[in-house]
């Protein structure tokens, strides 16, 4: 089955700096890669996603890049703010119409004011 590795497990950045979280996946058939933000006591919130036919996607301060050949994708957060502090999960989905996500282990991001 699919295996998703996520690094780093914890990340501390100064407010205003950028944060990058990286994930690798094992199954070349995976074609959809969402990112979730989970704040304490809440469920995961979908913040951005990318499909295998696209190399990069951006939404304001967040962006995701995908390298299909290397089987890795990354989340980039620019101009970080204290409210960006949370646990971020990457995931991979195989097959069109499949909603079954394989998650990475998560990255706890702390933005220091």
The neighbour count for residue 54, using CB atoms within 10 Å, is: 13
**Residue 3 C-beta: closest distance to another protein, Å:** 12
Q: Reply yes or no: is the peptide bond before residue 62 cis, omega within 30 of 0.
A: no
Q: According to CB under 8 A, which one of 25, 33, 35, 36 is a site residue for another protein?
A: 36
Report if residue 26 touches another protein, rule: CB under 8 A. no
Report if residue 100 touches another protein, rule: CB under 8 A. yes
Q: According to CB under 8 A, which one of 20, 65, 76, 103 is a site residue for another protein?
A: 103
**8 A C-beta contact, residue 102 and residue 38:** no
* Chain centroid offset of residue 64 CA: 7
Report if residue 86 touches another protein, rule: CB under 8 A. no
């Amino acid at each position: 089955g699919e295996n998703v590795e996520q690094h780093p497990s914890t990340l501390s950045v100064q407010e205003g700096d950028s944060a990058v979280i990286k994930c690798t996946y094992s199954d070349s058939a995976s074609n959809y890669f969402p990112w979730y933000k989970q704040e304490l006591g809440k469920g995961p919130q979908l913040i951005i996603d990318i499909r295998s036919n696209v190399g990069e996607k951006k939404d304001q301060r967040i962006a995701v890049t995908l390298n299909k050949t290397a089987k890795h994708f990354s989340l980039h957060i620019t101009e970080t703010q204290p409210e960006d502090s949370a646990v971020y999960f990457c995931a991979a989905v195989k097959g069109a119409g499949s909603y079954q996500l394989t998650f990475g282990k998560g990255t706890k991001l702390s933005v220091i004011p």
